[in-house]
A and B are shown apart, each in its own frame.
Chain A
């Protein structure tokens, strides 16, 4: 529980991952929910499983917790087989989406539940409960009945109840989804600092990509039971592998281009690119596009900047960034986010760095 532990970062997972998910498969009523998921989680990592509803993210979490049985593959924790151990013997704790606070027990009895179940010495329990409640700022509610707590407070109790057991891995199933926007943002910050403080591995399930980017060391993007991409937030945002990843995480423009002799062409826009010739889809983030002054039309080889001209079709004021919808020819639209451009009209010149146009893996449904 010190700052030193928080420096255990996940950029380079050590040789021995804490949790190893190997070719995991799960079916419900013969419908495959998870199809061969393989994923290693390092000690102290904050990993987010991100996906739409029905992508299988909660199922994956429930398999790790032990509430569901695998239909294929293996789970390993610290070199020991995990998937044939019953849930109550796993060193894993869960924060449930609906909190699952025991209604017939007080807040402190709820937090003490796991310690009692594991036969922690009786004289040790009160101090550990008090410590856990202090950690989530709920000390004053120790004797309260759960029914008298708000959603956010129940959330904190659920967190304390899980963390007091000092699990090796904490599983969080959309724990913030029931909170209103402000509380949610506040809890995100607290959750992240709490995770740094205790140094416990967090596996966090959410459908909210902003939440995933704000909290995670790594994001595992799940789509229809398969891993679409596993990477750090910056990497997955800057270099999405597929059109799905590019669109799910942040906003983007998908440019369907033709690549020939090191140049990609999408309508009136052309930019230099490496890679094989043929049709290709590129992702270009709206904020990568800048307004260009007409005098700098020369393409400099060093910077490889792409220029194009387009008609402003729509401008939405957004405070710091304005959202522009630009028609770059034949009613092909591209969206741009530009800082404080002032009112724009008619034809304008735009530019972007060719490196910001990320070539995506061709998938059948792109």
Chain B
């Protein structure tokens, strides 16, 4: 049994922290979403639902939101397709190279996000590395423009940036698959492929879900990659929020969009956590 004083000392500081830096800002954000901006660029506290109505009336917002979801879905899929085989190889077949390869996956996480974004700008640009290479090989004769400033560039960049985040939980879940279950499966006559489908894959589902959630949620809220390599056709929902809070000076509308995004992400996290629990077997 812990004393009341002890319980208070360990619980009150984090509670204060969460209240001051999370709950209060969200509450303020929530309030803002019901206010409006007057013609002289002043935020007026007249409570109304105009911002939310506009969200659904103006096709721009829904288009960009759907595009963001599509991009997030594509990044999630690619990150899974890249991350799972890598995690599987590392966990089951890398043997002595395991530690080295693991570090190689982790190291990019230490490099600044911006640096990696700019690197793709350099690679994909019209006089960039990729175009130079293609022209050198005489595959193309003039710079290909659509590499950069397109949803494609955003997907590529974000896949590169978020694959390690997908890899890590998958790798962790694969490491937790008891190896004697794999042996038992072989022992019972299941081929390596069948063992993968019937034992390893089902037991790594929690890791897949966690990894997919990381990639999806992080991509959905990303605004730097579209800014750097997205161009007008690669704009995502966060870019709109940024501009509403900045140049466009419409904090209430920005708050409404933010709050909808927050709701979407929290619902998603809640759902995947429930699913993860269902697939996790003690």
Which residue from A66, A86, A113 sits with its C-beta under 8 Å from B188? Answer: A113
Whether B184 contacts A118 by the Cβ 8 Å rule is no
Bitwise, A51-74 to B at CB < 8 A (1) or not (0) is: 000000000000001110000000
Bitwise, B161-200 to A at CB < 8 A (1) or not (0) is: 0000000000000000010110111111111101100110
Please, which residues of chain A bring their CB within 8 A of the CB of B185? 88, 102, 113, 117
Asked if A273 lies at the interface with its beta carbon under 8 angstroms from chain B, I say no
Which residue from B180, B198, B202 sits with its C-beta under 8 Å from A96? Answer: B180
Given A100-B178, A103-B281, A104-B203: A117 and B190 within 8 A (CB)?
Answer: yes
Select the residue from A98, A104, A147 with max chain B CB neighbours within 10 A: A104
Residue of A nearest to B192 (CB): A88
Whether A113 contacts B190 by the Cβ 8 Å rule is yes
Which residue from A98, A118, A147 sits with its C-beta under 8 Å from B189? Answer: A118
Whether B282 contacts A100 by the Cβ 8 Å rule is no
Asked if A94 lies at the interface with its beta carbon under 8 angstroms from chain B, I say yes
Give CA–CA (A87, B194) in the complex, Å: 13
Whether A147 contacts B190 by the Cβ 8 Å rule is no
Residue of B nearest to A103 (CB): B281
A-B contact pairs, 14 of them (CB 8 A): A65-B187, A88-B187, A88-B189, A92-B187, A94-B184, A100-B184, A102-B184, A102-B199, A103-B282, A104-B199, A117-B185, A117-B194, A147-B281, A165-B188
Number of A interface residues at 8 Å Cβ cutoff, please give it: 25
Please, which residues of chain A bring their CB within 8 A of the CB of B199? 102, 104
Whether B180 contacts A117 by the Cβ 8 Å rule is no
Give CA–CA (A249, B249) in the complex, Å: 88
Min CB distance B203 to A, Å, is 6
Which residue from B190, B198, B202, B279 sits with its C-beta under 8 Å from A88? Answer: B190
Give CA–CA (A165, B190) in the complex, Å: 12
How many B residues touch the partner, as a band?
Answer: 20 to 34
Which residue from A88, A102, A103, A145 sits with its C-beta under 8 Å from B186? Answer: A88
Whether A100 contacts B181 by the Cβ 8 Å rule is yes
Whether A117 contacts B188 by the Cβ 8 Å rule is yes
Q: Please provide the 6 A-B residue pairs with the shortest distance between their CB atoms, ordered closest to farther.
A: A114-B188, A117-B190, A100-B184, A103-B281, A100-B180, A117-B189
Asked if A161 lies at the interface with its beta carbon under 8 angstroms from chain B, I say yes
Whether B202 contacts A104 by the Cβ 8 Å rule is yes
Bitwise, B116-158 to A at CB < 8 A (1) or not (0) is: 0000000000000000000000000000000000000000000
Bitwise, B5-19 to A at CB < 8 A (1) or not (0) is: 000000000000000
Whether B181 contacts A87 by the Cβ 8 Å rule is no
Please, which residues of chain B bring their CB within 8 A of the CB of A145? 281
Please, which residues of chain A bring their CB within 8 A of the CB of B202? 104
Please, which residues of chain A bring their CB within 8 A of the CB of B186? 66-67, 86-88
Bitwise, A87-111 to B at CB < 8 A (1) or not (0) is: 1110011101010101110000000
Min CB distance B8 to A, Å, is 38
Whether B281 contacts A104 by the Cβ 8 Å rule is yes
Please, which residues of chain A bring their CB within 8 A of the CB of B180? 96, 98, 100
Please, which residues of chain B bring their CB within 8 A of the CB of A89? 189
Residue of B nearest to A118 (CB): B189
Select the residue from A96, A98, A117 with max chain B CB neighbours within 10 A: A117
Residue of B nearest to A86 (CB): B186
Please, which residues of chain A bring their CB within 8 A of the CB of B187? 65-67, 87-88, 92-94, 162
Residues from 262 to 281 in B contacting A, C-beta threshold 8 Å: 279, 281
Min CB distance B27 to A, Å, is 42
Given A117-B194, A147-B282: A102 and B181 within 8 A (CB)?
Answer: yes
Please, which residues of chain A bring their CB within 8 A of the CB of B203? 103-104
Please, which residues of chain B bring their CB within 8 A of the CB of A93? 187-188
Residue of A nearest to B195 (CB): A88
Min CB distance A166 to B, Å, is 12
Give CA–CA (A340, B186) in the complex, Å: 55
Residue of B nearest to A173 (CB): B180
Please, which residues of chain A bring their CB within 8 A of the CB of B181? 100, 102-103
Whether A96 contacts B194 by the Cβ 8 Å rule is no
Whether A114 contacts B178 by the Cβ 8 Å rule is no
Give CA–CA (A114, B187) in the complex, Å: 8
Beyond A94-B187, A145-B281, 9 additional contacts (C-beta under 8 Å) are A67-B183, A88-B187, A88-B188, A98-B180, A102-B181, A103-B181, A117-B188, A117-B190, A147-B281
Give CA–CA (A161, B184) in the complex, Å: 10
Please, which residues of chain B bring their CB within 8 A of the CB of A113? 185, 188, 190, 198
Min CB distance B185 to A, Å, is 7
Give CA–CA (A100, B183) in the complex, Å: 9
Residue of B nearest to A67 (CB): B183
Residue of B nearest to A97 (CB): B180
Please, which residues of chain B bring their CB within 8 A of the CB of A165? 188-189
Please, which residues of chain B bring their CB within 8 A of the CB of A102? 181, 184-185, 199
Whether B183 contacts A87 by the Cβ 8 Å rule is yes
Min CB distance A53 to B, Å, is 18
Give CA–CA (A65, B194) in the complex, Å: 18
Min CB distance A249 to B, Å, is 30
Residues from 138 to 172 in A contacting B, C-beta threshold 8 Å: 145, 147, 161-162, 165
Give CA–CA (A100, B203) in the complex, Å: 14
Please, which residues of chain B bring their CB within 8 A of the CB of A98? 178, 180
Given A102-B199, A104-B281, A147-B281: A88 and B183 within 8 A (CB)?
Answer: no
Select the residue from B184, B186, B192, B198 with max chain A CB neighbours within 10 A: B184
Give CA–CA (A284, B216) in the complex, Å: 75
Min CB distance A66 to B, Å, is 7
Please, which residues of chain B bring their CB within 8 A of the CB of A103? 181, 203, 281-282
Min CB distance A253 to B, Å, is 42
Min CB distance A39 to B, Å, is 21
